[in-house]
Amino acid sequence: MIYNELAAFPDTFLWGSASAAYQIEGAWKEDGKGASIWDTFVRIPGKTFKGTTGDVAVDHYHRWKEDVALMAEMGLKAYRFSIAWTRLFPEGKGEVNPKGLAFYDELINELLKHQIEPIVTIYHWDLPQALQDEYGGWESRRIIDDFTHYAETLFKAFGDRVTYWVTLNEQNIFTGLGYRQAMHPPGRIDEKQFYQVNHYASVANAKAIASFRKLVPHGKIGPSFAYGPVYPYTCKPEDILAAENAEELSNHWWMDVYAWGEYPKWAWSYLEKQGVAPEVTEEDLAILKSGIPDFMGVNYYQTSTVEKNPLDGVTSGKFNTSGKKGTSEATGTPGVFKTAFNPHLETTNWDWEIDPVGLRIGLRRIHNRYGLPVLISENGLGEFDKVDEDGRIQDTYRIDYLRSHIIAIQEALSDGVDVIGYCTWSFTDLLSWLNGFQKRYGFVYVNQHEEGKHDLKRLKKDSFYWYQRVIQTNGDTL
């Protein structure tokens, strides 16, 4: 602590919580919705934990009024949710499906009725399967115009009522898991393709933002980046260099493009030498510069500690998707960096390091480098939760986690960082892409599991009442 007193949260601070369409809605074939790449992927045996799908998820599509009523009861100031592209455009483009539009229209109106600020995520990974089939989805330049057209449809439909927008959720994650680790659709391992896909996604992001300026001149828009600030494992210069490499290749590669419309220099030259740098046109560069966001959305879960990796060193290691502590492995890029276990941090059962100070560090790095306000668009703890006999869920571990991260935000505010809001992940329990329903994040427990039938009943956890008080007191009572 370097201050006697911390800055107060601004009155306008967006105390929020978040979700994503595929993880909550269910109703995967209802009211004209088309199939997304996730609807297809989860049907391939062995891809998700116990074969879980989002066919029903937590049935938000049918229970959204009940869910919004719970948000209102909590006093939530903002709710971040995503729109399923396939509900609006079952084939990814063409005629808009009025029922898809109506669903989100009603949801937005209901939120506003309760003074809850809607934060709309345009894309949270559920690409229309039709676009994947037609031209490879993000693998083709054609995605740029289809994405922009989809985004413009949303701007025109909801821009009169929705101020805050998130373009792409965690571009670094959906492209990495989709094209490097083959753990998300379309399940490839192709480094060159990974960088090309990212380039198209960045151009699509910028083009949508440029269009937003014309269609929603008073709105605020930005991407949500999965930011894991990097630490060196030791003070050996080789490890410091590895950390610089990782920060540039794993973070600046995206954030520099969002904030400045430019690729970082060392990373570009390294990737060119490896023969994997993307093909970029002059027009692309102009588009990147024309679509600078209003804020950097940050999804923060953990930091990453790295060390020197020899040329014949570690590449891709195993992820822990079982909830059995200590089952994840180091990953890295030979000659550049590899991850290391940080002995100073506790981890969750999924081996995610718990590091609130890392959030403060990350916020300061963004503030200093880009000068942009930050919206924390996700932060939370995924754990096994237990329902007591009397129906109570005593998730003190989640309260401790969130409290420590909120203090870190307050410290960052005191440091001068402009943080405009905090969305926890998540409001209700929901489907974790690869970990099924057992890895829970919500303030509201949902009786849904991977096996057997469940009644999808909503139960308020202890953390629900805790966050309610935090909001009521504008962060004074933690």
Residues of the shown chain interacting with ligand BG6 in the complex, contacts defined by CB under 6 A: 20, 23, 169-170, 173, 226, 299, 378, 382, 425, 432-435, 439
User: What torsion, rounded to 10 degrees, do the Cα atoms 168, 356, 73, 443 define?
Assistant: 80
Least Å distance, CB 197 to ligand BG6, is 17
- Select which of 307, 378, 383, 411 is catalytic: 378
Sheet of 332-333: strand order equals: 230-232, 304-307, 337-339, 332-333
Strands 374-378 and 296-299: parallel
Among 304, 462, 476, CA closest to 385: 462
Task: Answer whether the bond into residue 293 is a cis peptide, omega within 30°.
Answer: no
Angle, nearest 10°, between helix axes 98-113 and 142-158?
50
422, 14 contact by CB (below 8 A) = yes
Task: Please give the Cα distance from 288 to 282 (Å, whole number).
Answer: 10
Specify the residue, 25 or 307, whose C-beta has the smaller distance to ligand BG6: 25
Task: Please give the Cα distance from 186 to 23 (Å, whole number).
Answer: 18
Chain length of the chain: 478
Question: 81 forms bridges with which residues in the sheet?
Answer: 120
Least Å distance, CB 350 to ligand BG6, is 6
Query: CA-based Rg of the chain, rounded to a whole angstrom?
Result: 21
User: What torsion, rounded to 10 degrees, do the Cα atoms 66, 70, 73, 75 define?
Assistant: -130
217, 250 contact by CB (below 8 A) = no
Among 81, 80, 111, 77, CA closest to 9: 77
Least Å distance, CB 219 to ligand BG6, is 22
What percentage of the chain's residues is helix, strand, coil (to nearest 5)? Answer: 40, 15, 45
Instruction: Give the nearest residue (CB) to ligand BG6.
Output: 432
Among 285, 286, 341, 335, CA closest to 314: 335
Hey, what are 467's tokens?
Answer: 């966050």
Hey, what are 238's tokens?
Answer: 């080789």
276, 195 contact by CB (below 8 A) = yes
Task: Please give the Cα distance from 307 to 286 (Å, whole number).
Answer: 36
Least Å distance, CB 213 to ligand BG6, is 26
Q: Is residue 378 among the annotated active site residues? A: yes
Least Å distance, CB 439 to ligand BG6, is 5
Task: Please give the Cα distance from 461 to 443 (Å, whole number).
Answer: 6
Specify the residue, 150 or 441, whose C-beta has the smaller distance to ligand BG6: 441
Residue with tokens 């753990």: 183
Residue with tokens 């000659």: 335
Least Å distance, CB 228 to ligand BG6, is 11
Specify the residue, 6 or 173, whose C-beta has the smaller distance to ligand BG6: 173
Which residues are the active-site residues?
A: 378
